[in-house]
Structure 1
Amino acid sequence: MRTVGLIVEYNPFHNGHLYHLQQSRKITEADTVVAVMSGHFLQRGEPALLDKWARTRMALEGGCDLVIELPVAYATQPAEWFAYGAVSLLEATGVVDSFCFGTENGDLAPLLLAAEIIAKEPPAFKTLLMQLLQTGISYPNAYSRAISTYLLNLGFDDAASFPFALPNHTLALHYLLALKRLEGKMEPFTITREKAQYSQETVTDQQIASATAIRKLLLEQHSLEAVRSFVPASTFRILQQEWLAGHCPISWEPFTSALLHAIVTRSPAQLAGMHEITEGLEHRIKKTLPKLASTQFNDLLEALKTKRYTRTKLQRALLAILLGHHKADFTSEKLATGVEYIRVLGFTEKGKQILRRMRSTAKLPVLLSAARAPDSYRYLELDTQASSLYSLAVPGLESARMLFRDFTDKPITIE
């Protein structure tokens, strides 16, 4: 039985995701699909539109067989550590033969070449990167330019012209770098992203729209009908159930009061100890707060933005403050050790077969419930804290029990 791995957020699962899943099965000739999915907070420093259990149901009904959770410690990171956490988990299952990701042009060769050359970050490459960062450009732009310049200096002219800075290419490169550094056995594949690009806010097709555009429609038009044509019927049904229960859509706004409390009750020195707070950002945050016209999250974000501090960088930094993520838990040395467990969020009948195989192949303990995990699993502790905080922001919360679903709920199962 061949198994393909996918790295996803499914925020929410839409027709483009369905196409990617189906094509991934086809080109890898896979019988089953394992998805490693971010939990309640995502890679660009945002809360998920729906909770991780609803999105797990979307994934399973959309064609995934087993969904495992990417811990918040990796799910909210820049591309390098996001990719490292996700690839390491797929490798740790011991059952995933290949993994497939989307790219803007479907060309894997330049990405493989770049990953092979810079996996150990040669000194000349690091020097280029530092020089570019000193010009004040963002880290992702500096990294992509350093790659192109380094490849050009080595005589790889064609590869040097490859658009490494495009969002999916950046992630793809880091997936391949992670695979190389982990000495992984999975075979990488890519497919071209069709009709809607990553984070594209406008709708240009009748059936395919980015998750960003779909979230924007839901949040601005307050109508499920606005997104019906862009999602599978199963996703629409789950969205409808969560919507009617008052559990979605979730945005940054319900967290703003908690965020402001976390900021005003910390000194600049304490803020400086939080993950993603760099280069004096703590002082900018403190100085900006009294000048705000309102306490809306977007007003805070707009007031903080500069050429150096991009929207995504700021969202990650503010999220670290909200979640209480300290630098000490997020050093490169700690992140490089990887996750200590495989947390199962849901599975189908085929997924049960995968889990049975994993009893003998998995390189890490497989968790079906956080309640049975050792207290020493620090990343799991951060996950359960993040889940509880997320639940506090969900309108229509039925009971305090919802705060502790990580400990009480069984994995989602689809017969």
Structure 2
Amino acid sequence: MSTVVGIIVEYNPLHNGHVLHYSRAKELTGAEYCVAILSGPFLQRGEPAILSKQARAEMALHMGVDLVIELPIHYAVQPAEWFAFGAVSLLEATGIVDYLCFGTESGSLHELLPLAKQLTQEDPIMQQELTHLLSTGMNYPTAYSAAASKLAHNLDQQEEIRQLLHQPNHSLALHYLIALERLGSPIIPLTIARESAAYHDTTPSHSNIASATSVRKMVSTDGVEAITPYIPSYTLEIMRREFSAGRGPVHWETFRQPLIHHLMTHTPEQLSLIHEVTEGLEYRVKKTLPILSQATVEELLHSLKTKRYTHTKLQRMLTHILLNHSKEEMSPKELAKGPGYLRILGFSKQGRQLLKRMKKTATLPTIMKPSVFTHHHLERDLQAAAAYANGYDQSDMRDMYRDYYESPIRW
């Protein structure tokens, strides 16, 4: 049976560093096929994607990915724990994936594998420490890394783990490993060292590799042609096409007016029912109303920022307010049930062979068109896609409901 490697991606947009990761994943595993789990219109850090999910799926297929599956928004716009659980659950549900390959700062899982096994058991000491640190006003990512480090046997190891988990790729990798453990998955995890550009770099430090953050910054300041050295030619052509058609670049300011509408028309009590609006944030949000008429979304985020709440946490909160996602529908109890379907965004000729295999192996329904399937997560995916397309410079109803009109991309 042919070997399949899975990758979990956002491609916002797909750049040369992603091509390197894809190539190394195929080389490391010897895989003949690649399955990608791709976030939809809104991403893990709570920001809108620069391009539609269809455009980014097309980039993935150009690069060589054989099958692109959408990560439902219930998991796509979440902290690392649930983002990882949703994505890994989809790879597991295909029944065909042998390896999961992801990038880390160190290129090693030596420290993370035993830690993941411990954390899978939800150690009471760790949970107690986490609760204590959060009560002091520490933000969640910092508190989690500090609490998890307490599981180490000596102070040197504790400091090593704490520093390790401060790095974003290591933190996400840990949750991929925890998800594999919780699911009892036979998928084998492997990692590749991130090269030349760090996750948060805002300017390129290499001649042809830059982080997605710095690529997007260059697009916003200098236009799409400025990123030519850092992206494959097909990414450039797709971005040119989409931007010319008024379908990007999409960013937070695209949604400023509908976001203000939501903030203006919701009472604090109504806001408190929205996912990620926690610990009195609804009142802090309402206090910003006087500045909304002039402020950008970034300025709004800055005004909400405290030591307790990270920029990412606040971005996710605004996304959930924009899309009216309730605490109830995104509670841990609901998310723990896992995704309910495999939504296919695109596939290659080789990908057709994977889809044939999945008819026998998949443990979730494989969805080509939403019009023939009903699920409450899917309804939210379609709403998110419509809200996203409504922000285009030249949006129309067909853009907003293209999920209904268009079949998966066939490459």
Structure 1 length normalisation: TM-score?
Answer: 0.96
Could you say which residue in structure 1 is the equivalent of 2:376?
378
Give the aligned residue type for 2:389: S
Whether 2:397 is the aligned partner of 1:400: answer yes
Residues 149-191 of structure 1 deviation map (CA, whole Å, 9 limit, x = unaligned):
2213599669646612210000000000011011111000000
CA distance in 2, matches of 1:143, 1:9: 24
8 A contact 1:2–1:97 mirrored in 2: yes
Q: Over aligned residue pairs, what C-alpha RMSD do you find?
A: 1.4
8 A contact 1:35–1:64 mirrored in 2: yes
Could you say which residue in structure 2 is the equivalent of 1:11?
12
Could you say which residue in structure 1 is the equivalent of 2:358?
358
CA distance in 2, matches of 1:334, 1:144: 25
8 A contact 1:15–1:231 mirrored in 2: yes
CA distance in 2, matches of 1:126, 1:389: 37
- 1:309 Cα deviation (Å)? 1.6
Give the aligned residue type for 1:316: R
> Which piece of structure 1 moves more, 153-162 or 354-363?
153-162
Tell me the percent identity. Answer: 48
Give the aligned residue type for 2:226: A
Give the aligned residue type for 1:395: D
8 A contact 1:110–1:162 mirrored in 2: no
CA distance in 1, matches of 2:27, 2:387: 39
Give the aligned residue type for 1:387: A
- 1:260 Cα deviation (Å)? 0.8
Matches within 5 A, 1:327-342: 327-342=327-342
Whether 2:225 is the aligned partner of 1:225: answer yes
Residues 62-103 of structure 1 deviation map (CA, whole Å, 9 limit, x = unaligned):
111100000011000000000000000000000000110000
Structure 1, unpaired ranges of 5+ = none
CA distance in 1, matches of 2:257, 2:351: 40
CA distance in 2, matches of 1:190, 1:366: 28
- 1:334 Cα deviation (Å)? 0.6
- 1:199 Cα deviation (Å)? 2.2
Matches within 5 A, 1:100-179: 100-152=101-153, 160=161, 163-179=164-180
CA distance in 1, matches of 2:123, 2:249: 45
8 A contact 1:102–1:193 mirrored in 2: yes
Residues 220-273 of structure 1 deviation map (CA, whole Å, 9 limit, x = unaligned):
22x222100100111111111112212111001111110111111111000000
3-state SS, counterpart of residue 81 of structure 1: helix
Matches within 5 A, 1:312-327: 312-327=312-327
CA distance in 2, matches of 1:230, 1:160: 33
> Which piece of structure 1 moves more, 402-411 or 270-279?
402-411
CA distance in 2, matches of 1:161, 1:366: 40
8 A contact 2:149–2:157 mirrored in 1: no
CA distance in 1, matches of 2:153, 2:239: 48
CA distance in 1, matches of 2:96, 2:213: 32
Could you say which residue in structure 2 is the equivalent of 1:247?
247
Whether 2:34 is the aligned partner of 1:33: answer yes
Whether 2:392 is the aligned partner of 1:391: answer no
Structure 2, unpaired ranges of 5+ = none
- 1:56 Cα deviation (Å)? 0.5
8 A contact 1:258–1:322 mirrored in 2: yes
8 A contact 2:150–2:158 mirrored in 1: no
- 1:122 Cα deviation (Å)? 1.1
- 1:140 Cα deviation (Å)? 0.7
8 A contact 2:151–2:158 mirrored in 1: no
Could you say which residue in structure 2 is the equivalent of 1:369?
369
Runs of 4+ that moved beyond 3 A? 152-162
8 A contact 1:289–1:300 mirrored in 2: no
Give the aligned residue type for 2:195: E
Aligned residue pairs: how many? 410
> Which piece of structure 1 moves more, 133-142 or 35-44?
133-142
Could you say which residue in structure 2 is the equivalent of 1:412?
409
CA distance in 2, matches of 1:250, 1:381: 22
8 A contact 1:148–1:162 mirrored in 2: no
Could you say which residue in structure 2 is the equivalent of 1:294?
294
CA distance in 1, matches of 2:11, 2:161: 32
3-state SS, counterpart of residue 218 of structure 2: helix
8 A contact 1:37–1:68 mirrored in 2: yes
CA distance in 1, matches of 2:358, 2:146: 41
Could you say which residue in structure 2 is the equivalent of 1:184?
185
Structure 2 length normalisation: TM-score?
Answer: 0.97
- 1:205 Cα deviation (Å)? 0.8
